Structure 1
């Protein structure tokens, strides 16, 4: 860090003031974007989204295999949670299975 001289002080303060303004503007823009409130879906909408039948979805709800909310006797779902639930069912590729088997075998040999 270089030593500052008294004569440089006005320029440095001006530079810092501009940078603070820019940071403040960036922060205000970032906080101004409020996250969109997600509206709940009914079971028919989830059926269209997942391409599963309504009775199949009721079975998943009964076994607590799918994320859901119940208000009174109405089932509600959130799209992001349903998409995350679908992603958890990813099948492993052959390479992933082989790598996992190699890891297990190497641990057994130790």
Structure 2
């Protein structure tokens, strides 16, 4: 670190102010990015195009508690992220994934028999 002389003090203060404003801008930018976006609830009519299911089918899923929903009074509310996550949980395994699982199970089972 270099020794600061009185003659260089104005330049040093200007440099500090510049760096301080850059740090402040970075912190403010990061704070804005970290604030979670508030998701608005959607109605059943908006869930139909997302899922491709009919209203009666969706009502049946709600009645059997098979789909994530929220109820306030007589109104049903859904959140798009919850619906998409619900759809993703129904992923079917490929033939290769099933074969790999079977091989792993059988190899572990055979180890215990010896």
Shorter chain as normaliser: what TM range?
A: 0.7 to 0.9
- Quickly say closer, same or farther: Cα 1:9–1:103, change in 2 above 3 A: farther
Aligned to 1:98: 99
Taking only aligned residues, the RMSD between alpha carbons, in angstroms, comes to 2.2
TM-score with structure 2 setting the length? 0.76
Deviation at 1:44, TM superposition (A): 1.1
1:81 is the counterpart of 2:82: yes
Larger radius of gyration: 2
Aligned residues: 100
- In structure 1, what is the Cα distance between the partners aligned to 2:24 and 2:91? 43
Q: What runs of 5+ residues in structure 1 fail to find an aligned partner? A: none
The superposition leaves residues 23-71 of structure 1 with CA deviations (integer Å, 9 ceiling, x where unpaired) of: 4322211212443321111111101211101111111111111110000
- In structure 1, what is the Cα distance between the partners aligned to 2:40 and 2:55? 20
The superposition leaves residues 68-105 of structure 1 with CA deviations (integer Å, 9 ceiling, x where unpaired) of: 00000100000010001001111111111111101100
TM-score with structure 1 setting the length? 0.78
Extract structure 1 runs of 4+ deviating beyond 4 A: none
